Structure 1
Amino acid sequence: MPTTVTVLRNARIPGRDGLVDVVLDESSVVALVPTTTSVVTGPAPIVVDVEGRWVIPGLWDEHTHMLQWSLAQARVDVSAAQSAAEVAQAIGWHLGVLPESDDGAEHVRDVVVGFGFRDAMWPDRPTRALLDEVAGPTPVVIASGDGHCGWVSTAAAELLGADVDASGILREDDWFDVSRRLDRQGESDLDGLVVVAGTYAAARGIVGVVDLEMADNTRAWQRRVAAGATSLRVEAGFYADRLDEVIAAGYRAGDVVPDTGDLVRIGPLKIMSDGSLNTRTAFCRTPYVVAPVAPVATEVEPVDSGVELVETGDTEVEPVETVVSTGSTGVSSTGSTGVVSTGSTGGGTTADPHHGALDVDPDEMKQQIVRAFDAGLDVTVHAIGDAAVHLVLDTFEEIGRGGRMEHAQLVDPADLPRFAALGVTASIQPEHAMDDRDVVDAYWEGTSGIPFPVRSLVDAGATVRFGSDAPVAALDPWATMAAAVHRSRDDRDPWHPEETVDARTALAAHARGRDEVRAGDVADLVVVDRDPFAPGEPLRDMPVWATMVGGRWTYRA
């Protein structure tokens, strides 16, 4: 079969002068030649005049939850709420416009699901009673913006078999279990939503995603490709509950998943080491120092993390025990410093220090990593707090092999050079800094760590990759790059401007190291209307004209 040759005529390459023709086939960029001298031999090419637009490498979102992102688009958006009362009001308004049953009787509706609350700075606390007041017999579940907790009404708790206290809040594993139950709709309905999400992603220049959904992603993407989800390359991640299955199937990192047209490959084992900032479960050396509302704690058995924690006002660092999070209402340690991990709403206070919690026993984490590596699989570990970051780096160092870390939102300066030295890739989400800047300033004010480092990681020689963690942030690489380059949104002053990077660095982080189109590159390309490297370019609203995967158009404006 003859090779199809495509020529993108009159193209511009950011950072270069003049117009070029980009010549490519189904697999790679064959050549870049000045437009005035362009000569293509062989079969007649397909010529597309891009009329002076800029051609850049295809963009990857290195951290997504594709099903959750798809579902979030159809859920009640409460992200603008500034209090628990406002969330309840928004849910009440939504319920008020839902239709009653055909016979006019009081209609007990299906589960109503909201998305996007961030309660870290609220002046009031969520309670089950507050939600019940507006929900009545209708089951209501509201997922937090960071994906690490949910607010559940009594009717929803009964329907879903969730054990929830008076706060109505489920956190970490308890929430993940309930969230998975919410997703058990018909497979064809869910797959259709993801097909639409893939089309949207292509319209923003995305050519590939790492899907870290808590699901059987290999089988899910086989179905989705069959249903028409062919606009993206996918690396399908998995969690420890499927490690045995993946190993038994003989998969190794990067293997093509059968029946996916070479679009879907085996991604990494993902391990959750700690929680999140907004949920106040990220594991930190310095305690969270502000509590807008009173914390609640319950006791569980502490474990020794081996990480040194600091109490506010201490001048000496002493090793303490920490805890593994095991329940929805929080955890507490009875170790040497009395570290407390709060419950449904609270941060900590100086008198009641709160360092967050680990989601996995450190020894168990190490064993899982070793098993995956021995089977030829890749590993990525979620670590947000600086204590978790340090622990994960220690674990990779002990094993003697680098891997990948998701988030790294608070990093001790001493740990920055360890990323490059150990070969640990930093997979980060710069837009989270824009969402969390006020929460960081309130809760992590006394930390010695660097919040949301980007420039510091780059300068330290780390391999940096960008993603969204959609639906935590929008599935939009231009928002991510804007956050990295400008460290601002909504006309606010730049936040920690010392951590900004230039647009070329941001592009490379979103394009797997490719900062411009070159001969020999894979034929995954994006055509945009403006020069992303132009001084003062805002990036966030970048118009995308076309996207191509493997020499095939997946989006044309």
Structure 2
Amino acid sequence: NARGVAAVHDKDGWLGALRFWQRLESEGALTLRVWQSLPAEKADELGALGIASGFGNTRLRLGYLKVFMDGTLGSQTARLLDGSGVEITSREEFANLIRHAARAGFPVAVHAIGDQANRDALDAFEETRGEWQRLGLRQRVEHAQLLAPEDLGRFAQLGVAASVQFSHAPSDRDLADRLWAGKTENAYAFRSLWDSGALVVNGSDAPIEELDPLAGICAGVLRTLDERAAWHPEQALTVEQALQASTVNPAWLAGDERRRGKLLPGYYADLVVLDRDPVTSAQDELPEVTVVATMLSGTWVHNPPPWA
């Protein structure tokens, strides 16, 4: 809460995470809204129990099932179109998991880093779209770090969200320049995805990056973390876009667009007080914006007033 976090999409699908959040909720100590993932292999068990996405209360709900297509950039296991990398889940296997998840009433979040992994994930969503689109399931590709140009527009065409992490772009720039030499114009392509009409959702990927929404917004706008020039500045977003990707869009992905993500009458009073307006501040001041206080459902959960 001290960093302005009012809600999380917990991608750690192991069952211990759910028990942890349940314990906090039962103790009255859960000061976040949690959209919890579960392993995709549990789809049939969940379906048999009649437990579907949205099960829970206003603080803790089951959200989606998690799948991995490939590895990571740093370990050189991201699956690329040149044949390199590691395939964790094949396109055919993933399509089957989507079907089982849809029958159980769950959307899927699929980890895909390399351009081949992303293509396979999009192919599987396209192959199965008749089984999940009619149910209104809000699917997502997690990370979408390297995309072939011809796949960029498919997120919007299929209605699959690009759930990315703005902080990864400046953090990974040196590794990406070395390991994906000649391909980085299609890496961390946040502006291209946005302009294509895709729903771009920004998260932190904590603990890989810090759980700090303002740091992520800075990374999405500035595309640098140090004194160096912006890395691929053509992929930078505006402050307004970065804020929307960190507030409105995640709420929509969790099916909460009529209850949170905006400050409107009838919505939950989940809000953050900042020390200045990031929209009107000069870009070089963005890293200096700080959280003053955080509210959840009309209750201050960090630094209640009066403020100095």
Contact 1:268 1:377 in 2 (8 A): yes
Pick the aligned partner of 1:248 from 34, 48, 62: 48
Q: How does 1:304-323 map to 2 (within 5 A)?
A: none
Is the partner of 1:452 in helix, strand or coil? coil
Is the partner of 1:440 in helix, strand or coil? helix
Aligned twin of 1:112: none
Counterpart CA distance in 2 for 1:505 and 1:214 is 29
Where do 5+ consecutive residues of structure 1 fail to align? 1-201, 287-338, 340-354
Counterpart CA distance in 2 for 1:540 and 1:249 is 47
Pick the aligned partner of 1:387 from 116, 131, 135: 116
Q: Deviations over 1:351-383 (max 9, x none)?
A: xxxx10111132221111111112211111111
Counterpart CA distance in 1 for 2:262 and 2:51 is 32
TM norm structure 1: 0.49
Pick the aligned partner of 1:476 from 206, 212, 219: 212
Aligned twin of 2:65: 269
Pick the aligned partner of 1:499 from 219, 229, 235: 235
Instruction: Could you list the structure 1 runs, at least 4 aligned residues long, displaced by more than 4 angstroms after superposition.
Output: none
Pick the aligned partner of 1:443 from 179, 193, 202: 179
What is the CA distance between 1:515 and its match in structure 2? Answer: 8.0
Contact 1:504 1:515 in 2 (8 A): no
From the two aligned structures, give the one with the greater helix fraction.
Answer: 2
Where do 5+ consecutive residues of structure 2 fail to align? 250-259
Change (3 A) 1:239 1:386: same
Counterpart CA distance in 2 for 1:482 and 1:397 is 33
Change (3 A) 1:454 1:515: farther
1:397 counterpart = 2:143: no
Is the partner of 2:286 in helix, strand or coil? coil
Change (3 A) 1:403 1:214: closer
Counterpart CA distance in 2 for 1:515 and 1:503 is 16
After superposition, the CA RMSD in angstroms is 1.9
Counterpart CA distance in 2 for 1:360 and 1:235 is 24
Is the partner of 1:266 in helix, strand or coil? strand
Is the partner of 2:283 in helix, strand or coil? coil
Report the count of equivalent residues: 285
Q: Deviations over 1:500-533 (max 9, x none)?
A: 0110110000002388633343311111111111
Counterpart CA distance in 1 for 2:27 and 2:264 is 33
Q: Please identify, of 248-257 and 474-483, the stretch whose mean Cα deviation from structure 2 is larger.
A: 248-257
Amino acid at match of 2:121: V
Counterpart CA distance in 2 for 1:536 and 1:449 is 23
Change (3 A) 1:491 1:229: farther
TM norm structure 2: 0.87
Pick the aligned partner of 1:278 from 74, 82, 88: 74
What is the CA distance between 1:243 and its match in structure 2? Answer: 2.6
Pick the aligned partner of 1:551 from 290, 298, 305: 298
1:237 counterpart = 2:33: no
Amino acid at match of 2:158: L
1:206 counterpart = 2:2: no
Q: Deviations over 1:129-173 (max 9, x none)?
A: xxxxxxxxxxxxxxxxxxxxxxxxxxxxxxxxxxxxxxxxxxxxx
Identity value in percent = 42
Pick the aligned partner of 2:19 from 181, 202, 219: 219
Q: How does 1:46-445 map to 2 (within 5 A)?
A: 202-216=1-15, 217-256=17-56, 262-286=58-82, 339=83, 355-400=84-129, 401=133, 403-445=139-181
Contact 1:386 1:449 in 2 (8 A): no
Aligned twin of 2:247: 511
Q: Please identify, of 394-403 and 405-414, the stretch whose mean Cα deviation from structure 2 is larger.
A: 394-403
Change (3 A) 1:359 1:449: farther
Counterpart CA distance in 1 for 2:215 and 2:184 is 28
Aligned twin of 2:257: none
Counterpart CA distance in 2 for 1:275 and 1:496 is 24
Is the partner of 2:287 in helix, strand or coil? coil
